[in-house]
Amino acid sequence: MIAAGLDPIAQFEIHKLLELSIGKYDISFTNSSLMMVVAVLSISLWLLLSSKKSLVPGRAQSIAEISYEFVADMVKSAAGKEGLKFFPFVFTLFIFILFANLLGMIPFFFTTTSHIIVTFTLAMMVMSLVIGYGVFKNGFRFLKLFWPSGIPMAILPFVSILEIISFVSRPISLSVRLWANMFAGHILLKLFAGFSIMMITGLGFFPGALGAIIPYAMTLALTPLEFLVAFVQAYVFALLTCVYLSDALHPGHH
């Protein structure tokens, strides 16, 4: 009764805003799609409005230039100079995930990245690019990734099996890491905020407000941490994308 509206899972529910379907496939426009559109629109607005290309950059242009250099440095350090041809892809991924995470921190906004199907789709995009480009550029030498050199012949087949399993598990671990961080963080926030409301509604204002101090302090402490997690997870996703892309660029040496 007290907990009505305080369900920590309810924030992840998908609502259809516009019913659409092609054949038997349901492609309805949901609140999740809406947040993706909001993220893309705000990114486009920011980048278009800040590209006046003045020699002395203003505030918005500085942020755009700093984020450009941040991602370019990351690509260069993880995948080398050749990796820079993937810069547009990595930059798009990083900025999209960052905006989706940060927009989710606004109260009553939906967090797109708290659904594993979204993060898994992003991870599969990365993996298909790695496999596609790796095979396109290296041909059969791409399979060297699963056939490491300098290992005794006797155990090489087993190592090769381990390498294959490890490679296939990459999109799963990549998507689970982003999803679990966002999901768990939002549940924690909602739980502690809900505790303090339940204290007051359950115990009345005077003893309840005293009891609510501790969960309220936890909420206060968790909020900046969640902003940090939102940034760090976008960074990790982009960085791992670069690491995997460097495998496609130079298979053979790990």
Smallest distance, another protein to C-beta of residue 188, A: 9
Instruction: State the nearest-atom distance from the C-beta of 141 to another protein, in Å.
Output: 21
Instruction: Give yes or no for residue 187 binding another protein (CB under 8 A).
Output: no
CA–CA separation, 199 vs 3, rounded Å?
11
User: What is the 3-class SS of 106-130, one letter each residue?
Assistant: CCCCCCHHHCHHHHHHHHHHHHHHH
Would you count residue 217 as binding another protein (CB under 8 A)?
no
Environment class of residue 143 by beta-carbon count within 10 Å: exposed (0-12), middle (13-18) or buried (19+)? middle
As a whole number of angstroms, the distance between CA 80 and CA 245 comes to 10
Q: Which is nearer to another protein, 200 or 237 (CB)?
A: 237
The minimum distance between CB 175 and another protein, in angstroms, equals 9
Residue number, 7 or 73, with CB nearest to another protein: 73
- Whether the CB-CB separation of 86 and 247 falls below 8 Å is answered with no
CB-based contact 107:42 (threshold 8 Å)? no
Nearer to another protein by Cβ, of 27 and 168: the residue is 168
Q: Which of residues 37-76 bind another protein (CB under 8 A)?
A: 73
Site string for another protein, 130-169 (x = CB under 8 A): ----------------------------x--xxx-xx-xx
Among 88, 210, 225, 253, indicate the residue that binds another protein (CB under 8 A). Answer: 225
C-alpha distances (whole Å) from 165 to each of 33, 139, 143, 158 are 33, 21, 14, 11
Binding residues (CB under 8 A) for another protein: these are: 73, 77, 158, 161-163, 165-166, 168-170, 172-173, 176-177, 180-181, 184, 225, 228-229, 231-233, 235-236, 239, 243
